[in-house]
Structure 1
Amino acid sequence: MPKQTLPEQSQTDSRALPAATVRTRVRVPLRFGDGYAVDADVVTFHGLVDGLEHLAVALGDPDPQGTPLVRLHSECLTGDVFGSARCDCGPQLREAVERIAEAGGYLLYLRQEGRGIGLYNKLDAYALQDGGLDTYAANAALGLPEDARDYSAAAQMLTALGVGALDLLSNNPDKAAQLRGLGVPVRDRVPTGVFATGHNLHYLRAKVEHTNHTIALDRLAG
């Protein structure tokens, strides 16, 4: 497959970023296939630096003076919508909605498909994974970054929502590191569950081995 390139992305302290503002806040009843139901406020924004249509989903009763539970969830059409078992994105999204609703906080749904490389590139990488490469080596074979995500817009969104310090629901240490580098105080990183299937074990192991995700490898036997 031909080498493909993506625009360069930069990380900047959130205090140097232009201010984003809330565009719309609308109540949406969420209903999941397993019967779980919760009402949420879905928030859109003006002025996000990457020009993408990211969403904040407010769940439970976030305390403006407290430390809300926050998840940065990157869009995954195959996992979130079609229930693909090649990744753990769909189950992580479902878990995050319920845990944040119980604690009070925000799920930021970020339009960064395929760790930022896009849907078509992700499916190209899947084809290479079927030939034996792991998820990171497949990206590299396409001439793409292992992880092209940038969380500057997430920092803007959190500031616009009035969030100060937060607890981050994530197994990925890079998310916490980027937010802290952007001037967003992360008090604690709270791990998600482990959602292993016969189809995603290689993918989950690669996350641990390449990017130090906090997933217990002894739970990925098989």
Structure 2
Amino acid sequence: MEVSKQANLPTKFGNFIIQSFREDNNKAEHLVLKSNELGAIPLVRVHSECMTGDVFGSRKCDCGDELEIAMKRIAAENGMIIYLRQEGRGIGLFNKVNAYNLQDNGYDTVEANNKLGFGADLRNYDIVGKIFDYYGIKSIRLLTNNPKKISEISKFVKVQRDSILATPNQYNKEYLKIKQSKLGHLLES
């Protein structure tokens, strides 16, 4: 793993320190945005890249809204965002757009991934453990609704779950139902 220098990143949500981590095996590059002080048990959001939601404000998912909620909370409470370059639950942007096409034709997100020959969620969290080691983190409050993420991250640190609930809209209501019914997401406070 290669680690970049740190730099200041002022945002509309608060001021962060940014640092990049490059994996050895596939050269994937991930980001950490952290507060100046992490505290004993930092608030952490492990967020997988969603260009359509994070950058373009897509209403088909809750990703961009969750990232915004996380940035506001971490700016106020101290902690970090680990931004993983694992677009489309690990299938990549090209395949994600193809999955969107299938969704436009009646498939849900899990069915669309399966129809394209992928599992429902192909993300890998090994780099997260290395990032925690780098910063000496042993316990976290994890902003997530995803039980798989809790299980995977618990391999590296002690995890206390902290709910992150974005407001549903007319375009993502079915998407959220599928996240809950087929992927087990904990979408109730």
**Normalising by structure 2, what TM-score?**
0.94
State the 1:80 CA deviation.
0.5
Partner of 1:121: 95
Secondary structure of 2:5 counterpart: strand
Q: What is the distance in 2 between the residues matched to 1:104 and 1:132?
A: 41
Counterpart-to-counterpart distance in 2, 1:173 and 1:82: 27
Q: Which portions of structure 1, spanning 4 or more consecutive aligned residues, are displaced by more than 2 angstroms?
A: 20-23, 45-51
Q: Which residue of the other structure, out of 19, 24, 35, is the alignment partner of 1:43?
A: 19
TM-score normalised over the length of structure 1: 0.81
- % identical aligned pairs: 39
Q: Which runs of 5+ in 2 are unaligned?
A: none
SS in 2 for 1:196: coil
Unaligned runs of 5+ in 1: 1-19, 32-36
Counterparts of 1:151-190 in structure 2, within 5 Å, are 151-181=125-155, 183-186=156-159, 188-190=160-162
1:153-203 CA-partner distances (Å, limit 9, x unpaired): 11111111121111100000111101123x3221x1111023211000110
1:207 to 179, 182, 187: 179
Deviates more, 1:71-80 or 1:53-62: 53-62
Distance 1:104 1:48 in 2: 29
Alignment of 1:1-222 (within 5 A): 20=1, 22-31=3-12, 37-59=13-35, 61-63=37-39, 66-181=40-155, 183-186=156-159, 188-216=160-188
Larger relative contact order (CA 8 Å, sep ≥ 6): 1
Report the CA distance shift for 1:170/1:117 in structure 2 as closer, same or farther (over 3 A): same
Output the CA distance in 1 between the equivalents of 2:16 and 2:116: 38
Are the equivalent residues in 1 in contact too, given 2:3–2:22 (CA < 8 A)?
Answer: yes
Aligned-pair distance for 1:103?
A: 1.5
The answer to whether the Cα contact below 8 Å between 2:22 and 2:28 also exists between their aligned partners in 1 is: no
Which has the larger share of helix? 2
Deviations 1:43-66 (A, max 9, x none): 123555542110010025212xx0
RMSD between aligned alpha carbons?
1.6
Q: CA deviation at 1:105?
A: 0.5
